[in-house]
């Protein structure tokens, strides 16, 4: 799907997620000088009155609530083809689903997230709205700047299942995510705020133990759940609070979400870190209305996290990145601007545009991605000889063709880097992408690994090392292939 140049008055930067009912775009509010997420109803649902109303109700529910822990809706509108859209806060720090995919949270981090999500639910409940779909993918993080510096705030998004309490108090359609849904919700019974409390308790169990309390395959399985397995956290008071929130009979739960989170904090018995540090490097070009690349998360994104796991990629030996250095006969350089040049491999297959300082060391020769297999087109460009070594890294990029018919589920790791974000999956035109960001790396702060599926049996592997995320984005966006 190609990106529109504008949605309403907002210039569009890139797509950052899509689901069954909507697509979400990262855009730029020129009036307020800030990034925004714009959720647009999918064109195949534009004529469905029920889906259209549900889409608009999400915006109305969110607009009713003024809380830093609920995604803010700034604006709404309608495109020329009459599809509605919602302009929302952009979650630059991704989703909870993304985060726990990488590593478990510390107890302090977990309790901080649970507490903040609880505040968001309380704000919804105070305005007479149930969320009905609390789960990791619907917990979003954004950066907030204040006198204490940059920190993250957790907020609830995606109220596609949200209902006003006076409607939910009567028999309603069953819905929700089976492993987090309350039994009464799975049964389609009338609901109150204790249904969201059950889901928050299920989320708490997950964050504190590293596993879900239930593995229900369907809503029917969630109608009469057995007690979850022991949490095995050696903290009886904490486990008692969580299990009470997960009581099958709602009358046995806490009276409201605020009481649940207060009891959990008391049981933990130590201060909660209310302002955890950011974990995704800031994008210096975030508010520029220009094409860019990767997204980390989005308010209201239907499914921005990783797709289902695919087959494991055959590991590439680390030595394969130790490319032959030297000026390399036959390499091509095309000047595109005073500060940028385009380099290509010796066969004229792969091209990438880089800062001119990265063209001091170029290797256009083919590489052998797998021992005993055929050579493939590749090009490397960097600031100096040995830029791509682990001992003394510099800034640069490597692009090489790989045989393969599917994106990998993993890329070579960088344990020397302190933070990993991703993998993120996306598609642009006919190409599928998988990208992982590593930051806090020694020598050069940021390493980016990307794999692009360019046809049925070929992939492109891109590795970038740089201290500047904005440059990384521009280099990633410039990679192209010809004749494959």
Q: Where in the chain is the domain with CATH 1.10.510.10?
A: 96-268
How high is the pLDDT of residue 237?
Answer: 96
Residue by residue, DSSP assigns 202-223 as HHHHHHHHSS-S---SSTGGGS
**CATH 3.40.1000 residue ranges in the chain?**
318-481
Pick the CATH number of 318-481 from 3.30.1050, 3.40.50, 3.30.43, 3.40.1000: 3.40.1000
How far is it, in rounded angstroms, from Cα 379 to Cα 284? 27
Q: What pLDDT score was predicted for residue 102?
A: 67
Tokens 């394969």 appear where? Answer: 320
Beta pairing class for 458-466 and 396-403 = antiparallel
- Give the Å distances, CA to CA, from 68 to 11, 32, 202, 225, 480: 25, 18, 23, 33, 41
Helix (H) or strand (E) run with residue 239 in it? helix 236-245
**Arch. (CATH architecture) of 96-268:** Orthogonal Bundle (1.10)
- The whole-angstrom separation of Cα 61 and Cα 296 is 25
Cα 473 to Cα 160: distance, rounded to the nearest angstrom: 32
CATH 3.30.200.20-classified regions of the chain? 6-89
Does residue 451 contact residue 369 with C-beta atoms inside 8 Å? no
For the domain covering 6-89, report its CATH number: 3.30.200.20
Tokens standing for residue 244: 């009470």
Cβ–Cβ contacts within 10 Å for residue 50, how many?
8
- To the question of whether residue 135 is assigned a binding role by annotation, the answer is no
Element (H, E) at 28: strand 22-29
Catalytic residue annotation: 133
pLDDT of residue 20: 65
Residue 168 CA to residue 173 CA, distance in Å, equals 9
Please, are residues 200 and 110 in contact by the beta-carbon 8 Å criterion? Answer: no
Contacts of 449 (CB under 8 A, 6+ apart): 411, 412, 435, 436, 438, 461, 462, 463
How far, in Å, are 61, 107, 113, 266 from residue 271 at the CA level? 32, 11, 13, 9
What span, in angstroms and rounded, lies between the C-alpha atoms of 406 and 86? 34
DSSP 277: B
The torsion angles phi and psi of 456, rounded to 5 degrees, stand at: -70, -20
Cis-peptide into 23, omega within 30 deg: no
Exposure on the CB side of residue 119, measured as CA atoms within 13 A: 15
Give CA–CA dist 412/277, Å, rounded: 26
Q: How would you write the pLDDT of the chain (484 residues) with one tens digit per residue?
A: 566 888 989 999 888 776 667 888 889 898 888 889 999 988 877 777 878 887 888 788 777 788 899 988 888 888 888 899 999 988 887 788 877 876 778 888 899 999 999 999 999 999 888 888 899 988 988 888 776 667 788 999 876 544 444 433 333 444 567 889 999 988 888 889 999 999 999 999 999 999 999 988 888 888 999 999 999 998 999 999 999 999 999 999 999 999 999 999 999 987 776 655 555 544 444 434 433 333 333 343 333 322 222 222 222 222 222 222 233 333 344 444 447 888 888 888 899 999 988 988 888 888 887 666 678 889 999 998 888 877 778 999 999 998 887 787 667 778 788 888 878 877 776 678 888 888 888 888 899 999 998 888 888 999 999 998 889 988 998 898 887 7
Residues 139, 95: Cα–Cα separation, whole Å: 6
- pTM above 0.95? no
Q: Which of 392, 333, 424 minimizes the C-alpha distance to 94?
A: 424
Q: Say how far apart CA 249 and CA 182 lie, in whole Å.
A: 9
pLDDT of residue 291: 37
Closest CA to 162 of 192, 132, 137: 132
**CA 56 to CA 74: how far, in whole Å?**
13
C-alpha dist (Å) from residue 159 to 138, 302, 481: 9, 10, 41
């Amino acid at each position: 799907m190609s990106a529109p140049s504008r949605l309403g008055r907002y210039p569009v930067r890139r797509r950052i997620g899509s689901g069954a009912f909507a697509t979400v775009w990262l855009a730029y509010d020129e009036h307020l000088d800030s990034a925004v997420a714009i959720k647009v109803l999918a064109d195949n649902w534009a004529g469905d009155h029920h889906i259209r109303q549900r889409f608009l109700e999400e915006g109305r529910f969110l607009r009713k609530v003024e809380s830093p822990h609920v995604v803010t809706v700034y604006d709404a509108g309608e495109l020329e083809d009459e599809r509605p859209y919602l302009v929302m806060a952009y979650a630059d720090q991704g989703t909870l689903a993304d985060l726990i995919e990488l590593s478990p949270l510390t107890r302090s981090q977990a309790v901080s997230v649970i507490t903040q999500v609880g505040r968001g639910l309380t704000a919804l409940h105070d305005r007479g709205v149930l969320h009905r779909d609390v789960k990791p993918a619907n917990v979003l993080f954004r950066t907030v700047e204040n006198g204490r510096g940059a920190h993250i705030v957790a907020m609830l998004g995606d109220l596609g299942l949200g209902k006003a309490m006076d409607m939910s108090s009567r028999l309603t359609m069953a819905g929700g995510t089976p492993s987090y849904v309350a039994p009464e919700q799975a049964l389609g019974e009338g609901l109150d705020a204790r249904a969201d409390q059950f889901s928050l308790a299920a989320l708490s169990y997950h964050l504190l133990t590293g596993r879900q309390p239930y593995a229900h395959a369907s809503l029917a399985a969630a109608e009469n759940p057995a007690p979850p397995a022991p949490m095995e956290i050696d903290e009886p008071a904490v486990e008692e609070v969580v299990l009470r929130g997960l009581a099958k009979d709602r009358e046995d739960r806490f009276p409201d979400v605020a009481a649940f989170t207060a009891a959990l904090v008391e049981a933990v018995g130590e201060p909660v870190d209310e302002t955890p540090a950011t974990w995704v490097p800031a994008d210096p070009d975030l508010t520029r209305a220009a094409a860019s690349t990767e997204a980390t998360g989005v308010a209201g994104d239907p499914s921005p996290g990783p797709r289902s796991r695919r087959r494991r990629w055959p590991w590439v030996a680390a030595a394969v990145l130790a490319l032959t250095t030297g000026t390399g006969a036959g390499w091509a350089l095309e000047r595109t601007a005073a500060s940028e040049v385009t380099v290509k491999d010796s066969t004229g297959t792969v091209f990438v545009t880089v800062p001119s300082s990265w063209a001091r060391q170029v290797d256009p020769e083919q590489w052998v991605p797998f021992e005993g297999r055929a050579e493939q087109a590749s090009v490397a460009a960097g600031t100096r000889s040995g830029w791509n070594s682990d001992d003394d890294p510099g800034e640069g990029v490597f692009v090489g063709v790989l045989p393969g018919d599917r994106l990998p589920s993993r890329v070579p790791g960088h344990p020397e880097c302190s933070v990993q974000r991703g993998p993120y999956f996306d598609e642009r035109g006919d190409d599928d992408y998988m990208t992982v960001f590593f930051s806090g790396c020694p020598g050069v702060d940021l390493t980016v690994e990307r794999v692009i599926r360019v046809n049925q049996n070929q992939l492109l592997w891109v590795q970038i090392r740089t201290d500047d995320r904005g440059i990384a984005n521009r280099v990633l966006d410039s990679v192209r292939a010809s004749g494959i």
